């Protein structure tokens, strides 16, 4: 039973990583930007969720507000920061993004205070029993939330005009333009969707921990970079698999390797080992 | 100069050494590293163990550099296998693995760190002179490399690996050389740090340190020797001169990085170059 | 391009502002540093507010022989190397009479030798590294050592709660390491059986795998050193998983934020700490009431510790008869001090001697549970 629960808990953490990292991978896939400040938007989403929920009493409204506001912020970040840098070497955007992330964390500390915030009423504290195995309602919400979001993304990519336009733009922007696809618009929508994912992840984590803090994005910021590399930069399916796998590996690592290594180092040991064997990433197609 | 100014000079010197080391790797040779603090830390821990065991200062400095360079060589090999974005993240990973490993090692003091480090025996002024001497030596080495065949090779690799290869440049060899020399400097800086604080903990070599070293190189202007030195001095002293805006200093630090990348991606060096070019144009 | 340069110049000039503090002759200065930015900013803010309150209270009561007290506050960012110039600045530039650390172990351990060499008294409010006071005889610690508090935790579990089978889940830093060592040190004496030990990182908020494992270990009691931001989610997740054995926390839990985060799950959690919320002592009552009035926020252990260290500093400045370092040192060494965390006196090493408060969470507040005043068990090291 213990192992079933460990795997389950690993999948809960992994699905959280997945929702954050999918947004990053969408952005990398299209523009080759390593968007570290994505985790700053995730934190913003968490704060908006908690503050709106406390003000209105509705968690659904809080999550909706977070997704909308953060989605727009993501587009703004693209317009003001990244768009003028696209012709520059990739490290320019990376460093700018790190700077922006520092600014965001500091702004949250100054505006919301260093102590963090919680829901007035803790949410989903109960537990759901599934035969001999039980799972906390908040964990279940995380899993279900991730499945809904990722399925939604898959539908969007496969079934809609945007999906076709996105894939065409990734494969060959010039060709896409010649077919009349507005590649500029694709970029904005791309940033909007990626940021909505960051906000959703922030909301789910806020519910899970009943705690949002200015620095809550720092671990996801670098860990999700490791995940998108493992997933083979820009591969949505690979990113998902890498996130879940990492969640489970960490679950076991916490218990069995805790005496030798920090949990947060596990992701990078895994990363370095994989890159030495497969420099193009674990799940990259071809090379 | 009082004790305050002297200790400030020591902190600035250590940061300039770190920035010069990273400038060799990222600036001259174009290999973006987000894990420079790991080499700094490796040198510091090696130096702390050596110093505590009673080795004299010069041996400790060299040992710190050599230990860091050995790790640098290993990481350099990874740079041969992965392309640039992957390398940035791999080196970041090396930083996290280093801290995650040291935190759990009883023989390295784990979370309590190492405290039994003897005095350097140079006196306050002597120590500062040593720091400044090391900075000058490292700057001179950097300047020499930049003008030499090695520096030409680095620049070729940084510019375009494929072209460098067609020119007959042994790309892997140059990359490894950049990593070994750059991390050696970081290791020496680590040894100096050990004598300065006489106390080290794993947290002093974390990701934020790597980021702040990289910002010095970037704000100064990637590859520009004097730009990087000026930026390292300015960014280190920034918090000292801004006590009045204590609460906002990290915010301003972040904003400075963003604004530099957005409006002057070639850093201080780029600003000066374009200014002087315009001056010259207006004269003619 | 011209506009771009203007932006940059503006940014540089804003950041380059130099502050020239007003130099008044009729003030006595107390130096203070704490992490006001970075990962420990929450504790830094509490410690600073606690110390500021002590200064405000003392100034309202006439200052030091008619002179006003001024707290000179710097941000140490939690970095050891930054704190060395900062300590030198407090000594040489600001010319403070005495200094207080509201910071963590790293900065405090790095600064202690600087103050000791200058012959200036330096009081550490809550940093727990054992080597801090070993820097010399001008260095004092008003907070409890981690090992001492760990020993108190062992007594609480084995003697008072009669639980012998314990699992330790500790934050992976100096705090968690020292507390764990304290429990292990006296486990044999109390017949405690430490079944398993696990660690988590300071940024961890999700403990799913640990919770599943602890549940499988089936301990009688859980000893879980950590901070409120770890402890809130950890306790909530343990309780949600149906683990209902007693959970023992330490001073890191001692914040109203812990109760807000964990909600109902926090009920019944017992912590060893310094501050007794139900104390009748006038010093403690004045601290709790004034703090809540001044900052519109609830007190926590860190604020109380910052307050207590500053109070000792002020008392010494008032009564030692001289602002000279040696006089202050000898006065602190020879006397006992009434503070918000009880009556404090110091041993030969500069370590505080005081009882440990045991508090329990009841009706969403910390309340008195017991006091451990076995001074043999709680004796800090002498060298």
Task: Among A107, A268, A279, select the one facing B86 at the smallest CB separation.
Answer: A279
CA of B228 to nearest chain A CA: how many angstroms apart? Answer: 16
Q: Strand, coil or helix: what is C34?
A: strand
Residues of A in contact with C213 (CB under 8 A): 2, 6, 255
Measure C78 CA to nearest chain B CA, in Å: 9
Name the residue range of residue A207's domain: 18-217
Please answer whether residues B157 and B29 qualify as being in contact, where contact means their C-beta atoms are separated by less than 8 angstroms: yes
Provide the percentage of residues in chain B whose pLDDT is more than 90: 48
Tokens 């107390």 sit on residue: C30
DSSP annotation of C268 reads T
Class (C level, CATH) for C27-144+280-350? alpha beta
CATH code of residue B131: 1.10.3470
Chains that touch B (3 or more CB pairs under 8 A): A, C
Res. C22: pLDDT tops 70: no
The mean pLDDT value for B200-226 works out to 89
pLDDT of residue B32: 87
Interchain proximity B104–A90, CB inside 8 Å: no
Q: Give pLDDT, residue C305.
A: 94
Q: Considering only B53-67, B126-140, C36-50, C113-127, which range has the smallest mean pLDDT?
A: C36-50
Average pLDDT of chain A, as a whole number: 87
C11 near A CB under 8 A: no
Considering just the CA atoms, what is the radius of gyration of chain C in Å? 21
Q: Each residue of A6-58: pLDDT tens digit?
A: 898 899 999 999 999 999 999 988 888 889 999 999 999 999 999 999 999 89
State the total domains in chain B. Answer: 1
Q: What tens digit of pLDDT does each residue of A192-239 get?
A: 999 999 999 999 999 988 999 999 998 888 889 889 888 877 778 888
How many CB atoms within 10 Å of residue C2?
Answer: 6
C241 interfacial to chain A (CB closer than 8 Å): yes
Q: Which of B94, B207, B258 sits opposite A103 (nearest CB)?
A: B258
Tell me the pLDDT band of B49, cut-offs 50, 70 and 90: very high
For residue A285, pLDDT over 80 is answered with no
- For CA atoms B186, B188, B191, B196, give the dihedral sign: negative
Q: What is the mean pLDDT of residues B134-148?
A: 94
Task: Check CB contact of B218 with chain A, cutoff 8 Å.
Answer: yes
pLDDT beyond 90 at C87: yes
pLDDT band at A163 (very low <50, low <70, confident <90, very high): confident
Taking the CA of residue B95 and the nearest CA in chain C, the distance in Å comes to 16
Annotate C230-241 with b (16+ C-beta within 10 A) or e (fewer): bbbbbbbbbbbb
| A246 located within any domain | no
Residue with the two structure tokens 């990739």: A90
* Distances, alpha carbon A262 to alpha carbons A82, A225, C199, C225, in Å: 34, 18, 9, 17
Superfamily covering domain C146-273+357-372: Response regulator (3.40.50.2300)
Residue B129: pLDDT band (50, 70, 90) is very high
* Residue A3 covered by a domain: no
Number of H helices, E strands in chain A: 11, 2
The answer, yes or no, to whether residue B244 has pLDDT greater than 70, is no
Cross-chain CB nearest to B251 (options A84, A107, A265): A107
> What mean pLDDT is predicted for residues B202-223?
89
Complex ipTM: 0.88
Find the CB nearest A276 among B81, B89, B92: B81
User: Which residue, among C212, C215, C226, C236, would best test binding to A if mutated, counting the most A CBs under 10 Å from its CB?
Assistant: C212
Taking the Cβ of residue B52 and every Cβ of chain C, the question of whether any pair is shorter than 8 Å is answered with no
Domain containing B99 equals: 3-283
Predicted confidence band of residue C25 (pLDDT cuts 50, 70, 90): low
For B258, nearest residue in chain C (alpha carbons)? C8
Q: What integer is the mean pLDDT of C164-170?
A: 94
Which of A210-214, B75-79, B195-199, C245-249 has the weakest average pLDDT?
B75-79
Phi, psi of C71 (to 5 degrees): -95, 120
- For residue B187, give how far its alpha carbon lies from the nearest alpha carbon of chain C (Å): 16
Confidence at residue B195, expressed as pLDDT on a 0 to 100 scale: 95
Provide the number of structural domains found in chain A. 1
Provide the CB-side half-sphere exposure for C302 (13 A, CA). 26
DSSP string, C141-153: E-SPPHHHHHHHH
Residue A63 lies in a domain: yes
Q: Which of B138, B13, B133 has the alpha carbon at shortest distance from B5?
A: B13
Domain range list for chain C: 27-144+280-350, 146-273+357-372
pLDDT of residue B10: 94
Give the closest residue to C77 by CA, choosing from C102, C46, C50: C102
Q: Given A5, A109, A116, which is nearest C229 (Cβ)?
A: A116
Compute the nearest-CA separation of B96 from chain A (Å). Answer: 6
pLDDT beyond 50 at C10: no
Q: Residue B284: its pLDDT value, please?
A: 62
- Does residue A107 belong to any structural domain of this protein? yes
Q: Is the minimum CB–CB distance between C177 and chain B shorter than 8 Å?
A: yes
| Residue C159 vs residue B250, higher pLDDT | C159
């Amino acid at each position: 039973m213990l192992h079933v629960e460990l795997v389950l808990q690993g999948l809960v953490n992994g699905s959280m990583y997945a929702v954050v990292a999918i947004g990053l991978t969408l952005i990398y896939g299209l523009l080759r930007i390593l968007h570290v400040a994505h985790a700053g938007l995730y934190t913003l989403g968490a704060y908006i969720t908690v503050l709106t929920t406390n003000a209105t009493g509705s968690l659904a409204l809080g999550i909706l507000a977070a997704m909308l506001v953060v989605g727009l912020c993501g587009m703004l970040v693209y317009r003001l920061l990244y768009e003028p840098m696209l012709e520059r070497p990739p490290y320019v955007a990376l460093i700018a993004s790190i700077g922006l992330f520092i600014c965001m964390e500091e702004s949250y500390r100054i505006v919301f205070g260093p102590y963090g915030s919680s829901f007035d009423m803790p949410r989903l504290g109960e537990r759901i029993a599934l035969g001999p195995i039980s799972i906390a309602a908040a964990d279940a919400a995380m899993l279900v939330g991730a499945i809904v979001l990722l399925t939604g993304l898959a539908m969007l990519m496969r079934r809609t005009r945007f999906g076709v336009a996105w894939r065409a733009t990734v494969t060959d922007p010039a060709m896409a333009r010649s077919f009349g696809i507005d590649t500029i618009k694709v970029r904005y929508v791309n940033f909007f969707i990626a940021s909505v994912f960051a906000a959703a992840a922030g909301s789910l984590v806020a519910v899970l921990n009943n705690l949002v803090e200015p620095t809550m994005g720092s671990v996801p910021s670098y860990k999700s970079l490791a995940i998108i590399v493992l997933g083979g930069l820009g591969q949505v399916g690979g990113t998902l698999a890498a996130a879940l796998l990492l969640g489970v590996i960490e679950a076991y690592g916490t218990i069995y390797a805790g005496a030798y290594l920090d949990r947060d180092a596990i992701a990078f040991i895994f990363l370095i080992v994989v890159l030495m064997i497969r420099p193009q990433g674990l799940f990259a197609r071809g090379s | 100069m009082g004790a305050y100014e002297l200790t400030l000079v020591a902190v600035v010197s250590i940061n300039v050494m770190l920035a010069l080391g990273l400038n060799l790797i990222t600036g001259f040779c174009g290999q973006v590293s987000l894990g420079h603090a790991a080499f700094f830390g490796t040198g510091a821990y090696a130096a702390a163990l050596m110093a505590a065991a009673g080795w004299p200062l010069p041996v400790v400095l060299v040992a710190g550099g050599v230990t860091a360079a050995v790790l640098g060589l290993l990481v350099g090999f990874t740079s041969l296998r992965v392309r640039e974005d992957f390398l940035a993240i791999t080196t970041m990973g090396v930083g996290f693995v280093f801290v995650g490993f040291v935190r759990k090692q009883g023989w390295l003091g784990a979370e309590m760190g190492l405290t039994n480090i003897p005095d350097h025996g140079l006196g306050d002024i002597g120590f500062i002179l040593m720091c400044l001497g090391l900075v000058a030596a490292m700057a001179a080495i950097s300047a020499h490399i930049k003008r030499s065949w090695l520096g030409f090779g680095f620049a070729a690799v940084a510019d375009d690996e494929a072209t460098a290869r067609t020119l007959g440049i042994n790309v892997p060899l140059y990359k490894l050389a950049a990593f070994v020399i750059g991390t050696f400097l970081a290791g020496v800086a680590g040894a100096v740090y050990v004598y300065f604080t006489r106390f080290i903990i794993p947290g002093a070599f974390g990701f934020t340190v790597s980021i702040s070293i990289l910002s010095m190189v970037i704000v100064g202007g990637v590859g520009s020797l004097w730009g990087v030195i000026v930026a390292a001095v300015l960014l280190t002293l920034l918090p000292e001169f801004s006590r009045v805006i204590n609460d906002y200093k990290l915010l301003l630090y972040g904003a400075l990085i963003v604004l530099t990348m957005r409006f002057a991606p070639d850093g201080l060096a780029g600003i000066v170059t374009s200014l002087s070019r315009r001056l010259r144009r207006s004269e003619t | 391009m011209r506009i771009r340069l203007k932006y940059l110049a503006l940014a540089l000039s804003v950041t380059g502002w130099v502050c020239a503090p007003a130099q008044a002759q009729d003030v006595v200065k107390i130096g203070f540093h704490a992490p006001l930015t970075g990962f420990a900013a929450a504790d830094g803010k509490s410690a600073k507010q606690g110390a500021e309150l002590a200064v405000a209270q003392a100034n309202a009561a006439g200052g030091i022989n008619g002179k006003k007290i001024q707290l000179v506050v710097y941000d140490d960012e939690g970095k050891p190397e930054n704190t060395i110039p900062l300590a030198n600045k407090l000594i040489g530039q600001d010319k403070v009479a005495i200094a207080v650390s509201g910071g963590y172990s790293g900065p405090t351990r790095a600064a202690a030798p600087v103050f000791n060499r200058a012959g200036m008294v330096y009081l550490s409010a809550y940093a727990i590294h054992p080597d801090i006071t070993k820097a010399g005889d001008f260095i004092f610690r008003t907070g409890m050592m981690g090992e001492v508090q760990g020993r108190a935790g062992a007594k609480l579990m084995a003697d008072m709660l009669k639980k012998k089978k314990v699992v330790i889940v500790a934050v992976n830093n100096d705090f968690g390491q020292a507390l764990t060592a304290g429990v292990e040190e006296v486990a044999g004496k109390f017949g405690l059986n430490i079944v398993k030990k696990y660690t988590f990182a300071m940024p961890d908020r999700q403990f799913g795998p640990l919770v599943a494992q602890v549940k499988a270990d089936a301990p009688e009691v859980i000893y879980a050193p950590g901070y409120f931001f770890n402890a809130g989610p950890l306790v909530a997740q343990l309780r949600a998983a149906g683990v209902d054995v007693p959970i023992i926390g330490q001073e890191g839990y001692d914040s109203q934020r812990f109760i807000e985060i964990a909600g109902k799950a926090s009920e019944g959690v017992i912590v060893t700490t310094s501050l007794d919320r139900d104390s009748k002592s006038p010093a403690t009552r004045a601290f709790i009431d004034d703090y809540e009035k001044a900052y519109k926020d609830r007190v926590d252990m860190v604020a109380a510790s910052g307050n207590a260290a500053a109070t000792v500093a002020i008392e010494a400045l008032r009564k030692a008869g001289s602002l000279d370092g040696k006089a202050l040192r000898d006065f602190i060494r020879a006397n006992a001090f009434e503070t918000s965390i009880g009556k404090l006196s110091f041993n030969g090493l500069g370590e505080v001697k005081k009882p440990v408060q045991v508090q329990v969470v009841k009706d969403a507040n910390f309340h008195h549970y017991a006091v451990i005043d076995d001074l043999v068990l709680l004796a800090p090291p002498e060298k």
